[in-house]
Amino acid sequence: MVPVSHRYPRVRTGPGHTGTVTTLFDLGETNSHSDPVFVYTDGACSGNPGPGGWAWAVAPDGVPSGAGRDAATTNQRMEINAVLEALRTLGVAPPGATPPPIVVVSDSTYVVNCFRDRWWMRWQANGWRNSKKQPVANVDLWRPLVELVGQLDVTFKWVKGHSGDRMNDLVDRLAVAAVTAG
């Protein structure tokens, strides 16, 4: 096993933003590339805006996983960031191989509907402006996420938050813990 931080780029950092992959794994050992990887994602924010956290974990046992925080953010940004960081990690394959299909499971209708209902296509066609001709919120996260999703085999599935789904509850706890980890 090779630490993720040694095989893959460290997650984005900047003023007030930190993030790490919290477990060890080797993608070559985790999936035969015929079965999809189910990754659960969540974001949390204290205050909204305020300090926030994001987390992702792979089903069925939460390994691998990643989490991070931002000192001043919103819940929506943390939801997007959770997916972005999960795909940045899981979308990397060894040389000569292709990444596995990925199913992102999120309780964020904002994230899921963006891809399921193809909001991003309208935004892109309109110069990253919404239906009210205003700049799309969080475009600095949407653009790299849309680009990454276009490079991978990704589907999105919505799960009701706080409904007893074990993996959704896990990433919720990880995201909330990341808020206070500062």
Query: Is 43 designated active site?
Result: yes
Separation CA 56–CA 172 (nearest Å): 9
Query: Is 107 designated active site?
Result: yes
Bridge partner list, 50: 73
Say which CATH number the domain at 120 has.
Answer: 3.30.420.10
Query: Is 26 designated active site?
Result: no
Please determine, for residue 21, whether its predicted confidence score (pLDDT) is greater than 90.
Answer: no
Bridge partner list, 103: 38, 155
Through-space distance between the first and last CA atoms of the chain, rounded to whole angstroms: 28
From the list 66, 79, 85, 91, the catalytic residue is 79
Region at 5 (left for phi over 0; alpha for psi -120 to 50; beta for the rest) = alpha
| Total structural domains within the chain | 1
157's tokens: 């599935």
From the list 19, 43, 62, 68, the catalytic residue is 43
pLDDT tens for 142-165 read: 999 999 999 999 999 999 999 999
User: Helix 75-90 to helix 139-151 angle, to the nearest 10 degrees?
Assistant: 30
Whether residue 52 contacts residue 45, with contact meaning beta carbons closer than 8 Å, is answered with yes
Number of H helices, E strands in the chain: 7, 6
pTM for the full predicted model: 0.83
Query: Is 162 designated active site?
Result: yes
pLDDT tens for 71-107 read: 999 999 999 999 999 999 999 888 888 899 999 999 9
Query: Is 140 designated active site?
Result: no
pLDDT for the residue 93? 86
pLDDT for the residue 156? 98
Q: What does the DSSP 8-state code read for residue 164?
A: S
Model confidence at 182, in pLDDT bands (50, 70, 90)? low
Query: Is 29 designated active site?
Result: no
* Of residues 153, 179, 157, 178, the one with CA closest to residue 168: 157
**The domain containing residue 113 runs over which residues?**
4-180
